Amino acid sequence: MNDSAPGKILVTGGKGNLGSWIVRDLKQQGHEVWTLSRARYNEDEFHFAVDLTDSTQCAVLKDHEFDGVIHTASINNGSLPDFAYKALHINAFGTNNLLNSLNHSRLKHFIYMSTFHAYGIGHGKVDENTAPTPKNDYGLTHYFAEQYVRKYHATESLPFSIIRLTNSYGCPTTTDSIQWSLLFNDLARMALEQKKLVLRSSGEARRDFVWMGDVCSVLSQLITRQATNDIFNLSRGSSLRLLDIALQIQAAYSEVYDEILTIQKESGDGSDSPDLAVNNEKIKTVVNFNPQDMYKQEAKNIFAMLSPN
């Protein structure tokens, strides 16, 4: 692929929360987009129903050639029974199975969507030179997957980018999304359905939230460009309190329904939560990226999607 030229792109986890945004954006750019997940979708001929933990099922990919692959498929619900085991098999071994099954003859760019949890740092300044010290199974298994990407670069010259993503937010593309438990989605739905906002903490904890529209913009630029075989943070670049997110949703609700909702807080995470700054300057040297704050608009999109009227 040359810069901006449409191509044949595979998005694993393409029916998921972020994956569905990526697929929609790539189709709008004119790409031929294929998706992969464990579920079968009869209405979609450009879809692989494949369990990445099963190398035999993955073998179907050898009959296809792709210009680019964006690998988002992973398991992230740490409360599931045997999560450590499942995460290792899906996030790490699943990535190895995928890479082993791809036809590399035409592949120009493999983008792996990793996580800033690979750093194992919840406060302070983080950049790509920060040594990874993952402290949970989600971060650890994504870091393992990164090493499989590097292995295939060393053995098969795989052209890659590793993206360490912070917390992404945006209205799900369908009402049957499994990601309504995510903080932003949960609060926006709560505002509409319960007419209140309840934070199960003091709200002072800080997170870096990046809009999924910005994530899609970065990936659509990257996928058509020559891989630099490097790691990039993808973040807003500064953190917000969870209370700030609730306030944005409160403001959106007020603008739509002319009613101010109460925000209820519980104690638990302290009032002086340290700041977190995940540096995003490196990705800006490769693509155009100017993070936008779309909290109110995405909350309004959720209201519109779920409103019974």
Tell me which of 149 and 105 has the higher pLDDT: 149
In angstroms, the CA 244 to CA 206 distance is: 9
- pLDDT tens digits along 177-203: 767 888 999 999 999 999 999 998 899
Place of tokens 């670069």: 153
User: Mean pLDDT throughout 48-74?
Assistant: 96
Residues 259-290 have pLDDT tens digits of: 999 999 987 555 556 788 999 999 999 999 99
Predicted model pTM: 0.94
Residue 263, beta-bridge partner list = 197
pLDDT at 273: 66
Q: Domains plus CATH for the chain?
A: 8-168+210-234 (3.40.50.720), 172-207+239-276+292-306 (3.90.25)
Backbone phi and psi for residue 209, each to the nearest 5 degrees, phi listed first: -110, 125
Q: How far apart are the first and last CA of the chain?
A: 45
pLDDT in tens, 70-87: 999 999 887 788 999 999
Determine the pLDDT at residue 289: 98
Residue predicted with more confidence, 4 or 185: 185
What pLDDT, on a 0 to 100 scale, did the predictor assign at position 166? 96
